[in-house]
Protein backbone atom coordinates (compact mmCIF):
# COMPACT_ATOMS: atom_id res chain seq x y z
CA UNK A 1 0.00 0.00 0.00
CA UNK A 2 2.59 2.57 1.08
CA UNK A 3 4.77 1.67 -1.94
CA UNK A 4 1.93 2.42 -4.37
CA UNK A 5 1.17 5.66 -2.54
CA UNK A 6 4.82 6.72 -2.69
CA UNK A 7 4.96 5.90 -6.43
CA UNK A 8 1.80 7.92 -7.02
CA UNK A 9 3.02 10.98 -5.09
CA UNK A 10 6.44 10.87 -6.79
CA UNK A 11 4.74 10.74 -10.21
CA UNK A 12 2.63 13.80 -9.38
CA UNK A 13 5.65 15.69 -8.02
CA UNK A 14 7.62 15.00 -11.21
CA UNK A 15 4.97 16.63 -13.42
CA UNK A 16 3.95 19.39 -10.99
CA UNK A 17 4.52 23.00 -12.16
CA UNK A 18 4.51 24.15 -8.53
CA UNK A 19 4.95 22.23 -5.29
CA UNK A 20 4.23 23.86 -1.92
CA UNK A 21 5.17 22.45 1.45
CA UNK A 22 3.93 23.23 4.98
CA UNK A 23 6.08 21.88 7.80
CA UNK A 24 5.57 21.76 11.54
CA UNK A 25 7.55 20.62 14.56
CA UNK A 26 7.27 16.96 13.52
CA UNK A 27 9.85 17.34 10.75
CA UNK A 28 12.42 18.38 13.38
CA UNK A 29 11.49 15.58 15.82
CA UNK A 30 14.08 13.21 14.34
CA UNK A 31 16.72 15.89 14.84
CA UNK A 32 16.02 15.62 18.56
CA UNK A 33 14.01 18.86 18.77
CA UNK A 34 10.90 18.15 20.87
CA UNK A 35 7.51 18.82 19.27
CA UNK A 36 4.98 21.12 20.89
CA UNK A 37 2.35 18.58 21.70
CA UNK A 38 4.27 15.35 21.70
CA UNK A 39 4.66 13.10 24.74
CA UNK A 40 8.13 14.51 25.54
CA UNK A 41 6.51 17.95 25.66
CA UNK A 42 8.74 20.95 25.44
CA UNK A 43 9.98 22.03 28.83
CA UNK A 44 9.60 21.13 32.48
CA UNK A 45 5.89 21.19 33.34
CA UNK A 46 5.10 24.21 31.19
CA UNK A 47 3.18 23.95 27.93
CA UNK A 48 4.20 26.06 24.96
CA UNK A 49 0.90 27.90 25.06
CA UNK A 50 1.76 28.99 28.63
CA UNK A 51 5.09 30.47 27.63
CA UNK A 52 4.79 31.45 23.96
CA UNK A 53 2.53 34.44 24.72
CA UNK A 54 3.08 38.19 25.17
CA UNK A 55 1.34 37.91 28.55
CA UNK A 56 3.90 35.34 29.77
CA UNK A 57 6.74 37.61 28.63
CA UNK A 58 5.23 40.63 30.37
CA UNK A 59 4.70 38.59 33.54
CA UNK A 60 7.94 36.58 33.62
CA UNK A 61 10.43 37.72 30.95
CA UNK A 62 13.32 35.87 32.60
CA UNK A 63 11.41 32.55 32.60
CA UNK A 64 10.46 32.99 28.95
CA UNK A 65 14.06 33.78 28.01
CA UNK A 66 15.23 30.75 30.02
CA UNK A 67 12.87 28.60 27.92
CA UNK A 68 14.07 30.04 24.68
CA UNK A 69 17.74 29.69 25.68
CA UNK A 70 17.03 26.05 26.59
CA UNK A 71 15.49 25.52 23.11
CA UNK A 72 18.39 27.34 21.41
CA UNK A 73 20.82 25.01 23.19
CA UNK A 74 18.84 21.93 22.03
CA UNK A 75 18.53 23.22 18.48
CA UNK A 76 22.19 24.34 18.45
CA UNK A 77 23.20 20.74 19.20
CA UNK A 78 20.77 19.34 16.60
CA UNK A 79 21.42 18.80 12.91
CA UNK A 80 19.04 18.75 9.97
CA UNK A 81 17.75 15.20 9.46
CA UNK A 82 17.18 13.16 6.30
CA UNK A 83 13.71 14.71 5.94
CA UNK A 84 15.04 18.30 5.94
CA UNK A 85 17.81 17.30 3.51
CA UNK A 86 15.49 15.51 1.07
CA UNK A 87 13.21 18.57 1.06
CA UNK A 88 16.14 20.87 0.28
CA UNK A 89 17.05 18.65 -2.70
CA UNK A 90 13.45 18.83 -3.96
CA UNK A 91 14.15 22.55 -4.61
CA UNK A 92 16.71 21.47 -7.21
CA UNK A 93 15.03 18.38 -8.65
CA UNK A 94 11.46 19.74 -8.96
CA UNK A 95 10.22 22.64 -11.10
CA UNK A 96 9.29 25.06 -8.30
CA UNK A 97 9.11 24.47 -4.55
CA UNK A 98 7.86 26.95 -1.92
CA UNK A 99 8.53 25.90 1.67
CA UNK A 100 6.25 27.40 4.34
CA UNK A 101 7.30 26.47 7.85
CA UNK A 102 5.75 27.00 11.28
CA UNK A 103 9.08 26.05 12.81
CA UNK A 104 11.42 28.65 14.25
CA UNK A 105 14.48 26.36 14.55
CA UNK A 106 16.21 27.35 11.29
CA UNK A 107 16.91 23.68 10.41
CA UNK A 108 15.46 24.05 6.89
CA UNK A 109 18.01 26.80 6.15
CA UNK A 110 20.84 24.67 7.59
CA UNK A 111 19.67 21.78 5.36
CA UNK A 112 20.11 23.99 2.30
CA UNK A 113 16.52 25.03 1.55
CA UNK A 114 16.37 28.56 0.18
CA UNK A 115 12.80 29.39 -0.76
CA UNK A 116 11.43 29.51 2.80
CA UNK A 117 8.55 31.41 4.45
CA UNK A 118 9.08 31.40 8.24
CA UNK A 119 5.49 32.10 9.29
CA UNK A 120 6.28 32.13 13.02
CA UNK A 121 9.69 33.83 12.98
CA UNK A 122 13.07 32.48 13.96
CA UNK A 123 14.39 31.53 17.42
CA UNK A 124 17.91 32.72 16.50
CA UNK A 125 16.81 36.34 16.16
CA UNK A 126 15.94 38.74 18.98
CA UNK A 127 14.05 42.01 18.50
CA UNK A 128 13.26 45.08 20.54
CA UNK A 129 10.16 44.42 22.67
CA UNK A 130 9.20 48.12 22.45
CA UNK A 131 9.37 48.19 18.66
CA UNK A 132 12.32 50.54 18.08
CA UNK A 133 13.09 48.35 15.09
CA UNK A 134 16.28 46.71 16.39
CA UNK A 135 16.63 43.08 15.30
CA UNK A 136 19.65 41.07 16.38
CA UNK A 137 20.73 37.89 14.60
CA UNK A 138 22.19 35.47 17.14
CA UNK A 139 22.33 32.47 14.77
CA UNK A 140 24.58 29.78 16.14
CA UNK A 141 25.28 31.65 19.39
CA UNK A 142 24.46 28.65 21.58
CA UNK A 143 23.90 29.75 25.21
CA UNK A 144 26.15 27.96 27.73
CA UNK A 145 24.44 25.12 29.63
CA UNK A 146 25.19 26.65 33.03
CA UNK A 147 23.57 29.94 32.01
CA UNK A 148 21.11 29.52 34.87
CA UNK A 149 18.86 32.45 35.71
CA UNK A 150 20.38 35.02 33.38
CA UNK A 151 19.24 38.60 33.00
CA UNK A 152 16.77 39.57 30.28
CA UNK A 153 18.85 41.05 27.41
CA UNK A 154 18.31 44.73 26.73
CA UNK A 155 18.05 46.63 23.47
CA UNK A 156 20.37 49.59 22.79
CA UNK A 157 17.29 51.79 23.31
CA UNK A 158 17.00 50.45 26.88
CA UNK A 159 13.90 48.32 26.31
CA UNK A 160 13.91 44.55 26.74
CA UNK A 161 14.80 42.29 23.83
CA UNK A 162 12.38 39.46 23.01
CA UNK A 163 12.67 36.39 20.79
CA UNK A 164 11.76 37.33 17.19
CA UNK A 165 8.96 34.77 16.99
CA UNK A 166 5.16 35.06 16.72
CA UNK A 167 3.48 34.23 20.03
CA UNK A 168 -0.07 32.96 20.50
CA UNK A 169 -2.48 35.86 20.20
CA UNK A 170 -0.01 37.85 18.08
CA UNK A 171 -0.64 38.57 14.42
CA UNK A 172 1.63 37.15 11.78
CA UNK A 173 3.46 39.36 9.27
CA UNK A 174 0.74 39.99 6.65
CA UNK A 175 3.31 39.83 3.83
CA UNK A 176 4.34 36.33 4.94
CA UNK A 177 0.72 35.20 5.31
CA UNK A 178 0.02 36.50 1.82
CA UNK A 179 3.07 34.71 0.38
CA UNK A 180 2.05 31.47 2.10
CA UNK A 181 -1.53 31.75 0.83
CA UNK A 182 -0.28 32.37 -2.73
CA UNK A 183 1.97 29.31 -2.43
CA UNK A 184 -1.02 27.23 -1.32
CA UNK A 185 -3.29 28.60 -4.09
CA UNK A 186 -0.69 28.02 -6.79
CA UNK A 187 0.34 24.51 -5.81
CA UNK A 188 -0.31 21.44 -7.95
CA UNK A 189 0.92 19.34 -5.01
CA UNK A 190 0.77 20.52 -1.36
CA UNK A 191 2.85 18.47 1.08
CA UNK A 192 1.85 18.86 4.75
CA UNK A 193 4.59 17.44 6.93
CA UNK A 194 4.80 16.95 10.69
CA UNK A 195 2.08 19.31 11.86
CA UNK A 196 -0.85 18.70 14.19
CA UNK A 197 -2.82 21.16 12.01
CA UNK A 198 -4.15 22.94 15.12
CA UNK A 199 -2.51 26.35 14.92
CA UNK A 200 -4.08 28.98 12.67
CA UNK A 201 -3.68 30.65 10.24
CA UNK A 202 -1.05 28.03 9.13
CA UNK A 203 -3.52 25.17 9.62
CA UNK A 204 -5.89 26.79 7.12
CA UNK A 205 -3.42 26.58 4.23
CA UNK A 206 -4.07 22.93 3.21
CA UNK A 207 -7.77 23.62 2.61
CA UNK A 208 -6.84 26.69 0.52
CA UNK A 209 -4.65 24.42 -1.62
CA UNK A 210 -7.31 21.72 -1.80
CA UNK A 211 -10.00 24.20 -2.93
CA UNK A 212 -7.72 25.30 -5.77
CA UNK A 213 -7.34 21.69 -6.92
CA UNK A 214 -3.99 20.75 -5.42
CA UNK A 215 -3.19 17.17 -4.47
CA UNK A 216 -2.89 17.45 -0.66
CA UNK A 217 -0.46 14.91 0.81
CA UNK A 218 -0.15 14.53 4.58
CA UNK A 219 3.08 13.04 5.97
CA UNK A 220 2.66 12.30 9.68
CA UNK A 221 3.09 9.49 12.19
CA UNK A 222 -0.53 9.86 13.34
CA UNK A 223 -3.95 11.18 12.25
CA UNK A 224 -4.64 14.90 12.53
CA UNK A 225 -7.68 17.12 11.85
CA UNK A 226 -6.25 17.41 8.33
CA UNK A 227 -6.22 13.68 7.61
CA UNK A 228 -9.84 13.60 6.40
CA UNK A 229 -9.15 16.46 3.95
CA UNK A 230 -5.89 15.04 2.56
CA UNK A 231 -6.00 13.20 -0.77
CA UNK A 232 -3.09 10.98 0.28
CA UNK A 233 -1.95 10.13 3.82
CA UNK A 234 1.60 8.79 4.08
CA UNK A 235 1.79 7.35 7.60
CA UNK A 236 5.38 7.35 8.85
CA UNK A 237 8.26 9.54 10.00
CA UNK A 238 9.25 12.38 7.68
CA UNK A 239 12.91 11.33 7.77
CA UNK A 240 11.87 7.99 6.21
CA UNK A 241 9.00 9.05 3.95
CA UNK A 242 10.68 12.04 2.25
CA UNK A 243 13.84 10.13 1.17
CA UNK A 244 11.55 7.29 -0.02
CA UNK A 245 9.69 9.79 -2.23
CA UNK A 246 12.97 11.29 -3.43
CA UNK A 247 14.22 7.82 -4.43
CA UNK A 248 11.22 7.57 -6.80
CA UNK A 249 11.62 10.97 -8.46
C1 LIG B 1 -3.16 34.73 15.08
C2 LIG B 1 6.28 30.37 17.56
C3 LIG B 1 -4.52 36.60 14.71
C4 LIG B 1 6.67 30.48 18.98
C5 LIG B 1 4.06 29.39 17.42
C6 LIG B 1 -9.49 29.17 17.91
C7 LIG B 1 -9.61 28.80 16.57
C8 LIG B 1 -8.67 29.20 15.62
C9 LIG B 1 -7.62 29.99 16.00
C10 LIG B 1 -7.49 30.33 17.33
C11 LIG B 1 -8.42 29.95 18.28
N12 LIG B 1 -8.02 30.44 19.47
C13 LIG B 1 -6.87 31.14 19.30
C14 LIG B 1 -6.56 31.10 18.01
C15 LIG B 1 -5.43 31.70 17.36
C16 LIG B 1 -4.16 30.90 17.65
C17 LIG B 1 -4.34 29.42 17.45
O18 LIG B 1 -4.39 28.92 16.34
N19 LIG B 1 -4.42 28.69 18.58
C20 LIG B 1 -4.57 27.27 18.50
C21 LIG B 1 -3.73 26.61 19.59
C22 LIG B 1 -6.05 26.93 18.61
N23 LIG B 1 -3.25 31.38 16.66
C24 LIG B 1 -2.54 32.49 16.93
O25 LIG B 1 -2.57 33.08 17.99
C26 LIG B 1 -1.69 32.97 15.78
N27 LIG B 1 -1.98 34.35 15.58
O28 LIG B 1 -4.07 33.96 14.84
O29 LIG B 1 -3.24 36.09 14.89
C30 LIG B 1 -5.04 36.79 16.11
C31 LIG B 1 -4.58 37.88 16.81
C32 LIG B 1 -5.10 38.09 18.10
C33 LIG B 1 -6.01 37.16 18.67
C34 LIG B 1 -6.41 36.04 17.96
C35 LIG B 1 -5.92 35.83 16.67
C36 LIG B 1 -0.23 32.83 16.13
C37 LIG B 1 0.14 31.37 16.16
C38 LIG B 1 1.66 31.25 16.23
C39 LIG B 1 2.06 30.77 17.59
N40 LIG B 1 3.50 30.54 17.60
N41 LIG B 1 5.38 29.24 17.39
C42 LIG B 1 7.65 29.40 19.36
O43 LIG B 1 7.85 28.43 18.59
O44 LIG B 1 8.23 29.52 20.43
S45 LIG B 1 3.05 28.07 17.15
C46 LIG B 1 3.83 26.63 17.54
O47 LIG B 1 2.86 25.61 17.27
C48 LIG B 1 5.00 26.28 16.65
O49 LIG B 1 5.26 27.22 15.63
C50 LIG B 1 4.55 24.96 16.05
O51 LIG B 1 5.11 24.72 14.84
C52 LIG B 1 3.11 25.27 15.94
C53 LIG B 1 2.17 24.23 15.52
O54 LIG B 1 2.51 23.05 16.14
P55 LIG B 1 3.09 21.90 15.17
O56 LIG B 1 4.22 22.46 14.39
O57 LIG B 1 1.98 21.30 14.40
O58 LIG B 1 3.70 20.91 16.21
P59 LIG B 1 2.90 19.90 17.14
O60 LIG B 1 3.82 19.49 18.23
O61 LIG B 1 1.57 20.48 17.47
O62 LIG B 1 2.61 18.67 16.19
C63 LIG B 1 3.70 17.89 15.70
C64 LIG B 1 3.12 16.96 14.68
O65 LIG B 1 4.19 16.23 14.09
C66 LIG B 1 2.16 15.94 15.25
O67 LIG B 1 1.03 15.82 14.38
C68 LIG B 1 2.96 14.65 15.26
O69 LIG B 1 2.15 13.51 15.03
C70 LIG B 1 3.87 14.87 14.08
N71 LIG B 1 5.15 14.15 14.14
C72 LIG B 1 5.91 13.88 15.24
N73 LIG B 1 7.04 13.24 14.85
C74 LIG B 1 6.99 13.14 13.50
C75 LIG B 1 5.79 13.72 13.05
N76 LIG B 1 5.45 13.76 11.74
C77 LIG B 1 6.32 13.23 10.86
N78 LIG B 1 7.49 12.66 11.22
C79 LIG B 1 7.85 12.61 12.52
N80 LIG B 1 9.01 12.03 12.86
ZN1 LIG C 1 14.89 49.07 21.11
**Sequence-ordered list of residues with C-beta below 8 angstroms from that of 175, at least 6 positions apart, any chain:** none
Q: Across the chain, what does the average pLDDT equal?
A: 94
Confidence tier at 144 by pLDDT (50, 70, 90): confident
Mutation choice for ligand 1 from 194, 204, 217, 235, CB with most ligand atoms inside 8 A: 194
Look at the chain and count its residues: 249
- Four-CA torsion 226, 212, 182, 23, nearest 10 degrees: 20
Judge residue 211's burial from the number of C-beta atoms within 10 Å of its C-beta, 0-12 exposed, 13-18 middle, 19 or more buried. Answer: exposed
Residue minimizing CA distance to atom 40 of ligand 1: 167
Kindly tell me if the per-residue pLDDT of 40 is higher than 70: no
Question: Cα(86)–Cα(136) distance, rounded to whole angstroms?
Answer: 30
Q: What one-character DSSP code corresponds to residue 194? A: S
User: Residue 43's pLDDT band (boundaries 50, 70, 90)?
Assistant: low
Q: What does the pLDDT read at residue 145?
A: 76
Say which DSSP state 46 is in. Answer: B
**Ligand 1 binding site (Cβ under 6 Å of any ligand atom):** 24-26, 29-30, 35-38, 52, 102-104, 120, 165-172, 194-196, 198-201, 219-222, 224, 237-238
Of 38-47, 91-100, 114-123, 179-188, the one with minimum mean pLDDT is 38-47
In angstroms, the CA 122 to CA 73 distance is 14
Atom 23, ligand 1: which residue's CA is nearest? 200
Tell me the pLDDT tens digit for each residue of 18-27. Answer: 999 999 999 9
Strand order in the sheet with 116-118: 116-118, 97-101, 19-23, 189-193, 215-220, 232-235
pLDDT recorded at residue 98: 98
Average pLDDT over residues 145-170: 90
* Dihedral sign, Cα of residue 97, residue 101, residue 144, residue 141: positive
pLDDT, one tens digit per residue, over 45-96 is 678 888 999 999 999 999 999 999 989 999 999 999 999 999 999 999 999 9
Beta strand extents in the chain (DSSP E only) = 19-23, 97-101, 116-118, 121-128, 135-137, 161-165, 189-193, 215-220, 232-235
Separation between Cα atoms, residue 212 and residue 42, nearest integer Å: 36
Left, alpha or beta for 125 (phi > 0: left; psi -120 to 50: alpha)? beta
To the query of whether residue 108 is one of the catalytic residues in this protein, the response is no
pTM for the model: 0.96
The average pLDDT across 123-135 equals 96
Digit-coded pLDDT (tens) for 227-240? 999 999 999 999 99
Amino acid sequence: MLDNQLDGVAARLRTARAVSVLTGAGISAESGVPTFRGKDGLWRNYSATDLATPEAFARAPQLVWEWYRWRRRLIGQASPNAGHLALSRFERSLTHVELVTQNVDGLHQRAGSRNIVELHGNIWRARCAEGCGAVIDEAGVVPPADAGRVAVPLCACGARLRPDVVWFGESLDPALVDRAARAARGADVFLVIGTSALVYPAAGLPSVASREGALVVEINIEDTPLTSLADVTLRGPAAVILPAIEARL
